[in-house]
Structure 1
Amino acid sequence: MATRDDLEDYLIAPDPGRARLTRAVSGFDQDGAAQEISVVEERPLTIFLNAQEIVTAMTIGDYPEYLALGFLRNQGMLADGENIIGVEYDDDLEVVIVRTASKTTFEEKLKKKTRTSGCAVGTVFGDMMEGLEGLELPADEVRTSWLYALASKINRTPSLYLEAGAIHGTVLCEGDRPLVYMEDVGRHNAVDKIAGWMLSEGVSAQGKILYTTGRLTSEMVIKTAMMGIPVLASRSGFTAWGVEIAREVGLTLIGRMRGKRFICLSGEDRLLRDADPAQIADEGRKHGRKGAMT
């Protein structure tokens, strides 16, 4: 279990007891016995950029302003230095409106919208790769001792995943400290919330690591690179296109992090192997909520 010190590391931590995120549902188990379990809520959130409706995403409903800002930023619809004059959320209508001082380029991007392989509503635009041209990610050193410490802290943190499952988590980290832990039904939503928090708070990507419980897909790699974060790590596995894009943009991509084990398929030159794997406890067959996060 997480200690008080572990939780104090976070600027934002999951709040499994927060109202409206889960609901109790009754059912029957394999023996016919009545059971009541917590299940994650999901609700639509419609994002507007000025007067234009952009997308409706299915989300758990927390941090809608961060989700909207991060989505628009990661889709390249908010340029660097964009003058954002307001972010308005209407809880009754389940709508977020992001307002900018000048007109944006979203009209052309809407013509290139495609559906991605992500769970829930994953949306990517056909010209997102253009935003990666000439991108230079920070050449930050990544200590393996940090990776082991982060995985241990994050996997002990009380979360909606441990409470109800059916959800993904993404954590913004610096060194061996987890800073912001966001969850959602789609891993891309969790990443967008972190991007929105960084944009809103003016937080630099320098020295940051992004940890996710989900698969390392092309969309996850693109979003991480668009945020300027040089390292993406996960308990889960990779897709070939995700690896290819990571290598193209020079992003360090680390997956299958379980106990003392991990595999780096891109950006290995950033790794400083300062921890002896023999001194790291191996992960048991059971972890967290009925096994590993996927």
Structure 2
Amino acid sequence: MNNKGCPEEYPITLKVNGYEVAVFQLTNQDLEDWTYGYLFSEGLIEIASDIVTLKVDEEYGEIRVELKNDIDAEKMLNKKKHYTAGCGRGVTFFSMTDVKSFNKISNDKKYKLSYLLKKQAEFARNSPLYLETGGMHGACILDEETGAMVIKEDIGRHNAVDKVIGYAVSNQLNPDSLVLLTTGRISYEMLSKAAKFGFAIVGSRTAATKQAVQLAKYLNIEVVGYLRGKMAITYTTKGRVIDDVSNSSVGAKPNLMVLS
């Protein structure tokens, strides 16, 4: 018999400057990080100090945020909403056209495939909510220079990404030295979050959608999917991931393909 626990969903209302954004289904963990990440990803803040006050009220199921007066939250929140695909349904105010206006990534730092595979496995071993329930998503930011690894988990894959981005924003981390890994499918809204923060490489243990790959090519982002064991697929050809596994004497040759 499987003794794993059930993943928990926590409905919470996000209010910004008195305006209700939406009710989100979240895992009740790292909610402040999620708030920073979501507001940054949606263009409502650029730096952590744009938030004047942030209060998580678990009794009423609300996160209440006050932003600086010069930030026009009402204008942003009146834009058309796009509901995200997948678990832990979310909402974004950015369309594909909006995302194409983001800055293109110029960082050309290179990483060995063996490093990404090793870190993806380490990421999986250090995801306690997934190990407990088998039904959670995770996101991870890596800093090869310092060896730091930050992992956040949530019922929704996009929520988990917002949580690690929020951590990076609130701690003023430099995207040029970071890689983003996720357990979930990389869709256009996931790619847009990565692009907004400035990640040059996004990796996942599963696939990327066609729309995400198109955006990644346009914004000069390297996308690597199916990072499992000694297997990987690069969906873009930016030259940032070096295949040092195929010619090594350790294990079998990986299935490393480049989709043009």
Instruction: Tell me the TM-score range normalised by the shorter chain.
Output: 0.7 to 0.9
Q: CA deviation at 1:83?
A: 2.7
Cα 1:105–1:204 change in 2 (3 A) is same
Give the aligned partner of residue 154 of structure 1: 123
Q: Is residue 2:109 matched to residue 1:144? A: no
Give the aligned partner of residue 171 of structure 2: 201
Q: Which amino acid aligns with 2:84?
A: T
**5 Å matches for 1:59-74?**
59-74=26-41
Q: CA deviation at 1:118?
A: 2.8
- Give distance in 2, aligned partners of 1:193 and 1:51: 22
Residues 253-274 of structure 1: CA distance to partner in whole angstroms, max 9, x if unpaired? 0001121111111143112334
Instruction: Decide which moves more: 227-236 or 169-178.
Output: 169-178
Instruction: Decide whether the 8 Å contact of 2:96 with 2:188 is kept in 1.
Output: no
Q: Is residue 2:67 matched to residue 1:100? A: yes
- Give distance in 1, aligned partners of 2:7 and 2:142: 25
Q: Which amino acid aligns with 2:143?
A: E
Which of 84, 91, 107 is matched with 2:58 structurally? 91
Residues 26-85 of structure 1: CA distance to partner in whole angstroms, max 9, x if unpaired? xxx6xxxxx754111111121121211112111111011111111111011223576322
- Give distance in 1, aligned partners of 2:96 and 2:13: 21
Give the aligned partner of residue 256 of structure 2: none
Give the aligned partner of residue 122 of structure 1: 90
- Give distance in 1, aligned partners of 2:160 and 2:247: 30
Q: CA deviation at 1:245?
A: 0.7
Q: Which amino acid aligns with 2:113?
A: T
Instruction: Decide which moves more: 174-183 or 71-80.
Output: 174-183
Instruction: Decide whether the 8 Å contact of 1:45 with 1:61 is kept in 2.
Output: no
**5 Å matches for 1:245-260?**
245-260=215-230
> What residue ranges of structure 2 are gaps of 5+ in the alignment?
254-260
- Give distance in 2, aligned partners of 1:84 and 1:220: 23
**5 Å matches for 1:207-222?**
207-222=177-192
Q: Which amino acid aligns with 1:130?
A: D
Q: Which has the larger radius of gyration?
A: 1
**5 Å matches for 1:1-294?**
37-79=4-46, 83-110=50-77, 111-127=79-95, 129-133=97-101, 135-137=103-105, 138-175=107-144, 177=147, 179-276=149-246, 278-281=248-251
- Give distance in 2, aligned partners of 1:216 and 1:277: 28
- Give distance in 1, aligned partners of 2:246 and 2:196: 33
Q: Percent identity?
A: 28
SS in 2 for 1:179: strand
Runs of 4+ with deviation above 3 angstroms: 79-82, 126-129, 273-283
Cα 1:43–1:227 change in 2 (3 A) is same
- Give distance in 1, aligned partners of 2:98 and 2:41: 12
In the comparison of the two structures, how many residue pairs are matched?
250
Instruction: Decide whether the 8 Å contact of 1:259 with 1:280 is kept in 2.
Output: no
Instruction: Decide whether the 8 Å contact of 2:127 with 2:138 is kept in 1.
Output: no
Residues 229-261 of structure 1: CA distance to partner in whole angstroms, max 9, x if unpaired? 111001101211111111110100000112111
Instruction: Decide which moves more: 65-74 or 86-95.
Output: 86-95
TM-score (norm 2): 0.87
> What residue ranges of structure 1 are gaps of 5+ in the alignment?
1-28, 30-34, 284-294
